Structure 1
Amino acid sequence: MSNIATLAYKSAYAEPASPKPANFAELAAISIDDLTLEFQPGRPVLDKISLSIPHGQFVSIVGPSGCGKTTMLNLLAGLINVPYSGDIRLLQHPPRLGSHDVAYMLARDCMLPWRDALGNASFGMEVRGVSKQECQERATRLLARVGLAGFESAYPKQLSHGMRQRCALARTFALDSSVLLMDEPFGALDVQTKLQLEELLVDLWQAERRTVVLITHDIGEAIAVSDRVIVMSGRPGRIVSDTLISLPRPRSVRELQKSAEFHKIYAHIWEKLEGDWRASDAN
């Protein structure tokens, strides 16, 4: 497992969640105020980012490679320990490594090859101290929901890429975390499998309404699953636009492909991305 994957596991699985205040639903789940981050002096990765995400909202972030999207997720998960200016709050607290408030799904499935699908789906819960019986019951239920019933005893080498991502999705949703961070989880899949998993993600989210921040390069995916789509500029990353997705819920990702409103929103977001590219080329 890579270093970043190991850190993400620690962030998702290490220490107890914060107690929820009485007015929890009224508070912003994520608040970023005037955030600027530099890894090298004079070369900012993120520049004056301000963003507020209410509890239970599904937000996608799109933007060119290298604009700081994943860096922002890693900051929220407490994975980056470098000085920055501005303020970041996750459930009213500064981000910290090991918070149970956060579950992190990476672009790679990061399945453990010596564990079967049930063992992989249970892994995060086990590390968090959930009883063996509850781990197995919850993991079995989630594997069935993601279409892997009957594959509980299959090892990663016996599963397709899409099936491994389904297992990773089950592992993520099995965690009792208020905030889900997802870094291009379906980016490497074929179109049909990708649509199936997007549909599945929407179904899981609509049943539980957790706060989700999804990084993606796919505008269509961002619109189909989200309440809001944030467009970021090229490096240094700045917020170019923040679009509310007015498409009604519950949604079917496949049916949206036929929606005129879906394509209208797509054109609007593409215009924002293209406008930033033109500005970058001019400079």
Structure 2
Amino acid sequence: MDAACAIEVRDLSVRFGGGAAASVLAVDNASFTIVPGEFVSLVGPSGCGKTTILNLLTGLLAETPEGEARVLGKAPRPGNPDIAYMLARDSLMPWRTALGNAVYGLEVRNVAKAERKARARALLARVGLGTFSDKYPKALSHGMRQRCALARTFVLDSPVFLMDEPFGALDAQTKLQLEDVLMDLWSADRKTVVFVTHDLAEAVALSDRVIVMSARPGRILADVPIDLPRPRSIRALQNDPRFHTLYGRLWGLLEQGMAGHVH
């Protein structure tokens, strides 16, 4: 395995279920590498193993995979402080304020109270929730809740961020706003990001590369470089013909991957 890689996956296959006859092959012989500071998106049909790969990298996968995976040169393990994981749902605790939710990961990591509050307040301000730190989740809109979840993730300052469709349930306008917020946060520190999405426009707008997977069993069909200059304006990209060319290429690859879907 290459020590220069932030993430390396080699010949990965993951099978769920009982014996070989009854089991389901979710991921089939997948290999890819990600260097430090890259923003890489995984796209593919539902059930192709995108989230399975994220769960493997966090050490949360219950099944024993075939092949190898390394995060910063080490085997995946639960509770790895090198990884921050943002789920599709905000998963905010209703009895905690926005600040209380944003500091939670730092509490788990035993960061001193004064430091964790200061860091969380700074992140809430960066995501546009500076005046809402004392509000409870029930007083926040869906988009504001995701902003809080974004702050809770980035305040951990881990070198690797795994993000599983964090904006998938948002309306189009709010999604564009949150994508811009994410780009601002990522551009400041250039952490390594693996981003799962079903939105091809989102993948093109955010990523350095997009890995396209086939329908189950998930195989890697293509690894597409996104050669759009940074910094990027998510809205301005809508008028860039290169953006639409890349989108069309990804859509064609996705259609190819869906052709072998198993019902």
* Distance (Å, rounded) in 2 between the aligned partners of 1:206 and 1:52: 21
- 1:120–1:280: structure 2 CA closer, same or farther, 3 Å change rule? closer
The CA deviation string for residues 206-262 of structure 1, in whole angstroms up to 9 with x for no partner, is 111000000000000001010000110000000011100000011111111111000
- Residue 186 of structure 2 is matched in structure 1 by 205
Of 13, 31, 34, the residue aligned with 2:11 is 34
TM norm structure 2: 0.95
- Residue 29 of structure 2 is matched in structure 1 by 48
Partner secondary structure for residue 129 of structure 1:
coil
* Distance (Å, rounded) in 2 between the aligned partners of 1:115 and 1:256: 38
* Distance (Å, rounded) in 2 between the aligned partners of 1:141 and 1:31: 32
Residue identity opposite 1:260 in structure 2: P
Residue identity opposite 1:145 in structure 2: R
* Distance (Å, rounded) in 2 between the aligned partners of 1:252 and 1:136: 31
1:120 equivalenced with 2:97 (yes/no): no
- Residue 164 of structure 1 is matched in structure 2 by 145
**Greater CA drift, 34-43 or 139-148:** 34-43
Of 124, 128, 134, the residue aligned with 1:153 is 134
Partner secondary structure for residue 53 of structure 2:
helix
* Distance (Å, rounded) in 2 between the aligned partners of 1:96 and 1:275: 34
Of 190, 203, 207, the residue aligned with 2:171 is 190
- Listed as ranges, the gaps of 5+ residues in structure 1 are 1-23
Partner secondary structure for residue 153 of structure 2:
helix
* Distance (Å, rounded) in 2 between the aligned partners of 1:257 and 1:225: 13
Identical aligned residues as a percent: 59
Kindly state the Cα deviation for residue 176 of structure 1 after the two structures are TM-superposed: 2.2
1:138 equivalenced with 2:119 (yes/no): yes
1:59 equivalenced with 2:44 (yes/no): no
Kindly state the Cα deviation for residue 81 of structure 1 after the two structures are TM-superposed: 2.7
Partner secondary structure for residue 202 of structure 2:
helix
- Residue 99 of structure 1 is matched in structure 2 by 80
TM norm structure 1: 0.89
Residue identity opposite 1:259 in structure 2: D
* Distance (Å, rounded) in 2 between the aligned partners of 1:207 and 1:177: 14
- Residue 251 of structure 2 is matched in structure 1 by 270
* Distance (Å, rounded) in 2 between the aligned partners of 1:236 and 1:278: 12
The CA deviation string for residues 42-89 of structure 1, in whole angstroms up to 9 with x for no partner, is 531100000100011000001111111101000000001322111111
Partner secondary structure for residue 89 of structure 2:
coil
Kindly state the Cα deviation for residue 279 of structure 1 after the two structures are TM-superposed: 4.3
* Distance (Å, rounded) in 2 between the aligned partners of 1:163 and 1:271: 34
Residue identity opposite 1:108 in structure 2: R
Of 84, 89, 99, the residue aligned with 2:70 is 89
How many residue pairs end up in the alignment? Answer: 258
Tell me if the contact between 2:213 and 2:221 (Cα under 8 Å) persists in the aligned partners: yes
Residue identity opposite 1:39 in structure 2: F
- Listed as ranges, the gaps of 5+ residues in structure 2 are none
Mapping 1:195-274, distance limit 5 Å: 195-274=176-255
Partner secondary structure for residue 28 of structure 1:
coil
* Distance (Å, rounded) in 2 between the aligned partners of 1:67 and 1:151: 38
Kindly state the Cα deviation for residue 278 of structure 1 after the two structures are TM-superposed: 3.0
- Residue 17 of structure 1 is matched in structure 2 by none
Partner secondary structure for residue 130 of structure 2:
coil
* Distance (Å, rounded) in 1 between the aligned partners of 2:54 and 2:196: 8
1:178 equivalenced with 2:149 (yes/no): no
- Residue 3 of structure 1 is matched in structure 2 by none
